[in-house]
A and B are shown apart, each in its own frame.
Chain A
Amino acid sequence: MARSRRRRLPRGGNDFQWCFSQVKGAVDEDVAEADIISTVEFNYSGDLLATGDKGGRVVIFQREQENKSRPHSRGEYNVYSTFQSHEPEFDYLKSLEIEEKINKIRWLPQQNAAHFLLSTNDKTIKLWKISERDKRAEGYNLKDEDGRLRDPFRITALRVPILKPMDLMVEASPRRIFANAHTYHINSISVNSDHETYLSADDLRINLWHLEITDRSFNIVDIKPANMEELTEVITAAEFHPHQCNVFVYSSSKGTIRLCDMRSSALCDRHSKFFEEPEDPSSRSFFSEIISSISDVKFSHSGRYMMTRDYLSVKVWDLNMENRPVETHQVHEYLRSKLCSLYENDCIFDKFECCWNGSDSAIMTGSYNNFFRMFDRNTRRDVTLEASRENSKPRASLKPRKVCTGGKRKKDEISVDSLDFNKKILHTAWHPMENIIAVAATNNLYIFQDKIN
């Protein structure tokens, strides 16, 4: 059936009809710590979706080709490869255990048949090659079919080995290990648009690497004070500009973002631009700094904007305007009056991520109670949705959710006091071109698609 020509109008979070597509992970109520998903990332084409977990494993899902004979499979994601990326380590020098939890995964753009990704834990970054093998060679001269070496005296004739098809095997192999460059915990990695270098950021330093070179990295940002007593601020996230290979940004625990140009000096301790919104004196509290701490920073695909996530809101910044964001979207403002309890139970330190859709017209971020929020930048509308097994009938539409902040609770609303703060959606990802989203809810990965898709 010929695809009818459809004008791709920019549509927002509310104009979508999000439907449940798939859920991956155990149904068990008792969640193993190791199975908790710690990062989610689509590759550049969107055909591959990678997740990392606290147990150091990476699971890659691949989108099935749409199949006329199986119309209902509609581009489903199925497991493509699973491998153990990082193992728990022991640092003998400091008597410290290094967690195997995967903090971030970033894909490299595809250059040949194989796929490459970077995965990192607190200390070590690894470059993994994922390749397919669907042929094997038969008829070797020096060894027989089970691999045993043949007695050379028995070889009387030479033959050319032939390639025979075999069941598809997907192999993951570590190609580079970038270690020993971070004293503090790595929170971000970002591949440069030159496709040759990448940065890694920990609490106090940012290093620049070449993908081919593992024994050397350049330190480009260092905010460690000479005297640790003077430490008042840490780096929380960093990212390269999508098009300008000399530009990157990093955010801080004080709610500021610095944009640096690597052409200006080797050590980018002095920023080119400094983004900070002045504090609103009317909402000042003891927790002002904590809730202003930025947990994620993401450039728009266009490279004109960047988005930051702090505890209660998502802000969109125009790179040409440093003194305030151009948009502020409230994620869960009803939590502002609960900051004390959230400080007590440490939820106030939760680090939520955020993401753009392919056309930069919508943004998405997670919240508590397995809720996640979407904001349409054009229509200014927003919606709250829930990732739950209760709404997991195939192609079932997701119903918008609403949190009741006080007074009479309407039917279908949930009151703030009933929210489950154990169910947090910290990691979400949006397909780079289509309206498909992946939402990590503790140990489950939900995939939702736009009905109209």
Chain B
Amino acid sequence: MLSKGLKRKREEEEKEALEVDAWWLDPGLPAVTQAPPTLASSSLFDLSVLKLHHSLRQSEPDLRHLVLVVNTLRRIQASMAPAVTLPPVPSPPIVPNVADNLLASSDATLSASMASLLEDLSHIEGLSQAPQPLADEGPPGRPVGGTSPNLGALDLLGPATGCLLDDGLEGLFEDIDTSMYDSELWVPASEGLKPAPEDGPGKEGAPELDEAELDYLMDMLVGTQALERPPGPGR
């Protein structure tokens, strides 16, 4: 992003500003040259969506940044929604189509895409679940997870749907060697396993869980998977 500790020269800043202005407007559009100098809501919208995607692609998104961008995006969308009818200023015909498409697609799928993007966040947190093909469940409807408090890190498991990735859940695990989970899983407490406040026996310095506890935890994992199945038709 910004270079570290280097004083940017003024010309560089201006060049960067120009670059910024250009990237999200389609250079093919003749309307670009006639676009108003002030930043249109739609440009800000695009910028925000890009920031959101960028944030979610981080291995561990900055939650504050994410929440602020999402809220800003909602604000922008709210202000754009009533303005689907275009301003009276005559503009070339191609601009309304683009704007319409943008707004139409955003109106129709924004809630769903933002919801799924936020779900991705909880999904990213819950990457510890064993890879298991899940049927595509459509919009996220997260059932209440009845996890034990000891599995604080795992209680963020959500249905693995609506991912940014096209190939679904398995794609996330392609490059992870799951043999790692077989033995080293429960080694030192410092591996960030449990954020639980209420531990029973002192865990500090205890390198291994006994078999009974291991079985219990594995059951919970599998059990949680079962809980995450889509609710029955009666719901």
Please name all residues of chain A whose beta carbon is closer than 8 Å to the beta carbon of B202 when the two chains form the complex.
215
Q: In this assembly, does B10 line the interface, its C-beta being within 8 Å of a C-beta of chain A?
A: yes
In the complex, the 3 A-B pairs of residues with the closest C-beta atoms, listed nearest first? A31-B5, A228-B122, A203-B63
Subset of 10 A-B contacts with CB under 8 Å: A36-B4, A91-B191, A95-B127, A179-B190, A180-B192, A228-B142, A229-B142, A422-B2, A422-B4, A443-B5
**Which residues of chain B from 146 to 190 have any CB-CB distance to chain A below 8 Å in the complex?**
152-153, 156, 158, 176, 180, 184-185, 189-190
Given A94-B192, A123-B192, A289-B72, 20 new contacts (CB under 8 A): A31-B4, A36-B4, A91-B191, A92-B185, A93-B127, A95-B127, A97-B59, A215-B199, A215-B203, A228-B156, A231-B118, A232-B67, A286-B72, A286-B76, A289-B68, A289-B71, A290-B68, A343-B47, A345-B1, A349-B64
Q: In this assembly, does B75 line the interface, its C-beta being within 8 Å of a C-beta of chain A?
A: yes
- Type the 1/0 row for B81-107, where 1 means its CB is closer than 8 Å to any CB of A: 000000000000000000000000000
Please name all residues of chain B whose beta carbon is closer than 8 Å to the beta carbon of A346 when the two chains form the complex.
1, 51
Q: In this assembly, does B220 line the interface, its C-beta being within 8 Å of a C-beta of chain A?
A: no
Q: How far is the CA of A15 from the CA of B196 in the complex (A)?
A: 51
Check if A182 sits within 8 Å of B5, measured CB to CB. no
Stretch with Cβ within 8 A of B (4 or more), from A136-144, A372-380, A413-421: A413-421
Q: In this assembly, does A124 line the interface, its C-beta being within 8 Å of a C-beta of chain B?
A: yes
Q: How far is the CA of A293 from the CA of B20 in the complex (A)?
A: 25
Please name all residues of chain B whose beta carbon is closer than 8 Å to the beta carbon of A421 when the two chains form the complex.
2
Check if A340 sits within 8 Å of B65, measured CB to CB. no
Check if A226 sits within 8 Å of B144, measured CB to CB. yes
Stretch with Cβ within 8 A of B (4 or more), from A55-63, A155-163, A216-224, A273-281: A216-224
Known: A91-B191, A93-B128, A124-B190. A234 touches B5 (CB 8 A): no
Check if B63 sits within 8 Å of A345, measured CB to CB. no
Please name all residues of chain A whose beta carbon is closer than 8 Å to the beta carbon of B196 when the two chains form the complex.
180-181
Select one of A30, A96, A218, A293 contacting B64, CB under 8 A. Answer: A293
Residues of B within 8 A of A (CB): 1-8, 10, 13, 17, 20, 39, 41, 44, 47, 51, 59-60, 62-65, 67-68, 70-72, 75-76, 79, 115, 118-119, 121-122, 125, 127-128, 140, 142, 144, 152-153, 156, 158, 176, 180, 184-185, 189-199, 202-204
Q: How far is the CA of A185 from the CA of B125 in the complex (A)?
A: 12
Please name all residues of chain A whose beta carbon is closer than 8 Å to the beta carbon of B195 when the two chains form the complex.
180-183
Q: In this assembly, does A167 line the interface, its C-beta being within 8 Å of a C-beta of chain B?
A: no
Please name all residues of chain B whose beta carbon is closer than 8 Å to the beta carbon of A233 when the two chains form the complex.
67
Check if A229 sits within 8 Å of B128, measured CB to CB. no
Most chain B CB within 10 A, of A124, A228, A422, A423, is at A228
- Measured CB to CB, the closest approach of chain B to A310, in angstroms, equals 12
Select one of A91, A286, A417 contacting B44, CB under 8 A. Answer: A286
Q: From B140, which residue of chain A is reached at the shortest CB distance?
A: A229
Check if A236 sits within 8 Å of B64, measured CB to CB. yes
Chain A interface, >50% SS class: loop
Residues of A within 8 A of B (CB): 29-31, 33, 36, 89, 91-98, 123-124, 177, 179-185, 203-204, 207, 214-219, 226-229, 231-234, 236, 253, 286-287, 289-290, 293, 340-341, 343-346, 349, 417-418, 420-423, 442-443
Q: How far is the CA of A286 from the CA of B142 in the complex (A)?
A: 30
Please name all residues of chain A whose beta carbon is closer than 8 Å to the beta carbon of B152 when the two chains form the complex.
183
Q: How far is the CA of A253 from the CA of B184 in the complex (A)?
A: 38
Please name all residues of chain B whose beta carbon is closer than 8 Å to the beta carbon of A345 when the two chains form the complex.
1-2
Please name all residues of chain B whose beta carbon is closer than 8 Å to the beta carbon of A231 when the two chains form the complex.
63, 67, 118, 121
- Measured CB to CB, the closest approach of chain B to A258, in angstroms, equals 16
Please name all residues of chain B whose beta carbon is closer than 8 Å to the beta carbon of A286 when the two chains form the complex.
41, 44, 72, 75-76, 79
Q: How far is the CA of A365 from the CA of B187 in the complex (A)?
A: 44
Check if B191 sits within 8 Å of A349, measured CB to CB. no
Q: How far is the CA of A227 from the CA of B7 in the complex (A)?
A: 44
Check if B64 sits within 8 Å of A203, measured CB to CB. yes
Please name all residues of chain A whose beta carbon is closer than 8 Å to the beta carbon of B199 when the two chains form the complex.
215-216
Select one of B8, B125, B203 contacting A420, CB under 8 A. Answer: B8
Q: From A344, which residue of chain B is reached at the shortest CB distance?
A: B20
Check if A183 sits within 8 Å of B4, measured CB to CB. no
Check if A93 sits within 8 Å of B153, measured CB to CB. yes
Please name all residues of chain B whose beta carbon is closer than 8 Å to the beta carbon of A183 when the two chains form the complex.
125, 152-153, 156, 195
Known: A182-B195, A229-B119. A422 touches B190 (CB 8 A): no
Most chain B CB within 10 A, of A36, A96, A229, A293, is at A229
Please name all residues of chain B whose beta carbon is closer than 8 Å to the beta carbon of A97 when the two chains form the complex.
59
Q: How far is the CA of A96 from the CA of B118 in the complex (A)?
A: 19
Check if A214 sits within 8 Å of B204, measured CB to CB. yes
Please name all residues of chain A whose beta carbon is closer than 8 Å to the beta carbon of B70 when the two chains form the complex.
232
Please name all residues of chain A whose beta carbon is closer than 8 Å to the beta carbon of B204 when the two chains form the complex.
177, 214-215
